[in-house]
Each structure stands twice: as structure tokens, then as C-alpha cells.
Amino acid sequence: MFADFEKYIKTQTAVLTDDEISMIARAATVTNVRKKQLLLQAGDVCRYKIFILEGFLRTYGVDADGEEHVMQFSPALTWTTEGESYANCIPSNYNIEAIEDSRLMLWTKDTFTGLMSNIPSLKQYSENLVAQNLHTSRNRLYKAISATAEEKYEDFVKTYPGILLRVPLRMVASYLGVSLKTLSRIRQAQLQR
Amino acid sequence: MFADFEKYIKTQTAVLTDDEISMIARAATVTNVRKKQLLLQAGDVCRYKIFILEGFLRTYGVDADGEEHVMQFSPALTWTTEGESYANCIPSNYNIEAIEDSRLMLWTKDTFTGLMSNIPSLKQYSENLVAQNLHTSRNRLYKAISATAEEKYEDFVKTYPGILLRVPLRMVASYLGVSLKTLSRIRQAQLQR
């Protein structure tokens, strides 16, 4: 059942042994969620680290006008959580929602902390993930403040080649921080080229 | 000489003893840099963790059109580095520049790694800094994709009350990801209220 997880972790890190990866997998709770189901609601504390076995999640905020803004897309074979809420046990500013029927592995904080005490390499791997997330976040921030709408879209298509077929265009627009109108115009212009 | 550093670290963490903080301080090289001096040039590897004792730094990128984009302002009593370059020994995408005459503490990676081996709590503190940077970066990213130019400016003024007196307006505009013209219009409108 965890073959995909175990295979993925081995591509990510050499510091965990097969036994350790198996121990981490067996500590997870596996759950199926339906499209549009919320894993985390803004205002609640994020209690899980999540690994997506199948499906697709998104992390998004909702502004005072009810407008949704997508912070993150999480396809299969990636990790997600709301780190600030999870780490500090504070209400989350963001929602995590399944945008397709999904199959997930969940670890509570207690479980994951216990695993890290028993498996020092998991702590190392986990720190590396946080550092990698920081680099990704900073590079995306740099694009957000420096790139044109066209550049943002082209970069998105390159980074996530399959996503456009699976995600409504309005979510992509909100992820890029451009209006749906602007994004439609850019796509129209590209089709005409 | 390190009194400000030691005082600051004590406000940040309770896990380091006075002796440990003093050991960390004494391992640093103190250097004075002049306004406009580059601490790190894009394309070079970032070799230092930097603590700003006095002055003001900025981290910025330059796009293909020669336009500068400010990723980060670093006032006195904060840490900075280019984490991705520092961690992976790869060329940095960003420059770090003194925007005022500054007095800095520098630790090479060898020195800092050595300190972390000898002082396990420094590793913990350092991980907390990375996690905190991730939260800050994600929250700023959320603002970048969701807030109006007016909201970004108001948020900036609240977060960095003193900076506007010390930093050219064009740098603030580039930090916010809005044009100088838009920022000037927003400030004009606020003055007229």
C-alpha cells in the first residue's frame, strides 16, 4: 500500500534506511477524501503532516471580499501541511482542500515528533524539506514581485506541465496573482501565435 | 562589542546559555562596510551568515532588463544570508548590498557548522530561524498575490515604520512589486486625506 511513498522517499533522501521508511509509513493513517472536502479550515489548528498518495490538494486563503487566493498546489507524491499553524499550534490562515478525490497519509504532530526522536535521520530529512520549502517560497516570491503576468504564466506551465488540464483557470489565476481576465487574454494571445 | 548581539539573542531564545552566546559571538568576524558596498554578488556563492550590528542591508535581484527587485530589507539586529546559495554552495541569484554604512558580524559556513556541532542548542535556534523565515516568506507571498497595491503599502508602513525615512521610494516600490508611479500615487492620495 505504501510502495509509492517508499519509492518516493528513496528518491528524496539517502539517509533513511528501508526499515526506517517502512516504520514511518506504518505510523501514518491512510484516508480517502472526496473532491471539495476540506482537510483544514482557516481558523482551525493544522494537526497533520500530509503526504498525497493519489489526487490533488490546494492550500488557499480567502480575503475580506470572499475572494480565494491559492498559495500552493499539492499533486500526488508531495508533502503538505500548514507549517506555521502546525509548528506553533495556532489557528491557520489558510484552508487545505482536495480538488480531486484523493488518498492521503496523515501523521499527527505527536506521531511525527515520536518518529523523529526514534529516527534521527527523519529529523534531518524534515529539516531539509523545510529549507527546500523556504527556497521555493522565496523564489516564487521573487517571481511574484518581479515577473510580468506573461512570464508568470509561462513559468507556471513549465513548472507544472500537467496542472492546467486538472485545475480550473480561476485557481491558476489566483495562484499567479493575476486576474482571470488577464490570464485569459494571455492564453488567447498564445493560441493565436 | 557584542553586547547588542548578546542582548538580542537572549530576547530570541531561552535555549542558549550566556557562555554559549558569548562563544558564538567570539567566533564571528566583525567588519565595517560602506554604503553601496556589495556583500554578495549574484553568481557568487554566499559564504556567510550575517548579523547586522548597525546599519541596513538589502537583498535584491536584477532582471534581464536591468531592473532591480528587492527581496528583503535587513535592518540592525537581524540575521541575513542567501540561504539557498549558502546551504548548497551554488551561485546566488541575488545580491546583498549595504544601503547604509554598516557594521556586521560574519560567520563562514565552516565556523558556523563547527559551532553547531559544539552547541546543539544553536542548531535548534538556527532551525527555528529557518522555520520562521519560511512562515514570513509564505505570508509575504500571500500578500503579494492577494493584496491590492494600497494594502501592500499600508502593511509595509505598519511592519517597517522607520524604513521609509531611510530607503529610496523606488526600492520600496520594487519590494512591494508595484511601479514607482503607482506607489507615488498611493502616497499622494494618503497625504490628501
Strands A48-54 and A79-80, how do they pair? antiparallel
Query: Quick check: B93 contacting A, CB < 8 Å?
Result: yes
CB pair distance less than 8 Å for B146 and A176: no
The whole-angstrom distance between A33's CA and the closest CA on chain B is: 26
| Chain A residues with beta carbon closer than 8 angstroms to that of B141 | 71, 137, 140-141, 144
pLDDT of residue A181: 96
CB pair distance less than 8 Å for A177 and B139: no
Query: Quick check: B89 contacting A, CB < 8 Å?
Result: no
**Mean of the pLDDT values across residues A48-71?**
96
**Mutation target vs B (from A72, A139, A142, A151; most B CBs, 10 A cutoff):** A142
pLDDT of residue A162: 85
Pick the more confident residue, B183 or B1: B183
Query: Quick check: A95 contacting B, CB < 8 Å?
Result: no
CB pair distance less than 8 Å for B71 and A138: yes
pLDDT of residue A193: 80
3-state secondary structure of B166: coil
Q: Which of A94-98, A161-165, B116-120, B136-140 has the lowest mean pLDDT?
A: A161-165
| B104 exposure class (CB count in 10 Å sphere: 0-12, 13-18, 19+) | buried
Across the interface, which of A134, A174, A175 has its CB nearest the CB of B137?
A: A134
pLDDT of residue B44: 98
Q: For residue A1, name the pLDDT band (cuts at 50, 70, 90).
A: confident
Beta strands in A3-159 (DSSP E): 29-33, 38-40, 48-54, 56-62, 68-75, 79-80, 95-98, 102-108
Count how many Cα atoms sit within 13 Å of the Cα of residue B63 in the half-sphere of its side chain.
Answer: 16
Nearest residue in chain B measured CA to CA from A134: B134
CB pair distance less than 8 Å for A144 and B71: no
The whole-angstrom distance between A141's CA and the closest CA on chain B is: 5
CB pair distance less than 8 Å for B142 and A61: yes
CB pair distance less than 8 Å for A174 and B69: no
Residue B179 has pLDDT above 90, yes or no: yes
pLDDT of residue A150: 95
Of the CATH numbers 3.30.2010.10, 2.60.120.10, 3.40.1280.10, 3.80.30.20, which one belongs to the domain with range A3-118? 2.60.120.10
Q: What is the CA radius of gyration of chain A?
A: 18
The whole-angstrom distance between A63's CA and the closest CA on chain B is: 8
Residue A13 has pLDDT above 80, yes or no: yes
**Mean of the pLDDT values across residues A147-161?**
92
Q: pLDDT above 90 covers what percent of chain A? A: 91
pLDDT of residue B111: 98
Nearest residue in chain B measured CA to CA from A176: B145
CB atoms within 10 A of CB A24: 25
Q: Could you tell me how far CA A34 lies from the centroid of its own chain? A: 17
ipTM for the complex shown = 0.90
Across the interface, which of A140, A146, A175 has its CB nearest the CB of B63?
A: A146
pLDDT of residue B193: 80
pLDDT of residue A111: 98
CB pair distance less than 8 Å for B145 and A144: yes
Main-chain dihedrals φ then ψ at residue A54, nearest 5 degrees: -145, 150
Across the interface, which of B70, B137, B139 has its CB nearest the CB of A138?
A: B137
Q: What is the mean pLDDT of chain B?
A: 95
Across the interface, which of B63, B134, B144 has its CB nearest the CB of A133?
A: B134
3-state secondary structure of A25: helix
pLDDT of residue B1: 74
Q: What dihedral angle (degrees, nearest 10) is formed by the CA atoms of B145, B149, B151, B156?
A: 90
- Whether B88 and A140 have beta carbons less than 8 Å apart is answered as no
Q: For residue B35, name the pLDDT band (cuts at 50, 70, 90).
A: very high
pTM: 0.91
Chain B, residues 141-180, CB within 8 A of chain A, namely 141-142, 144-147, 174-177
Q: Map grid coordinates 503538505 to a residue.
A: A80
pLDDT of residue B170: 95
**Mean of the pLDDT values across residues B93-111?**
98
Q: What are the pLDDT digits (tens) for A81-113?
A: 999 999 999 999 999 999 999 999 999 999 999
Cα(A28)–Cα(A34) distance, integer angstroms: 19
- Whether B40 and B92 have beta carbons less than 8 Å apart is answered as yes
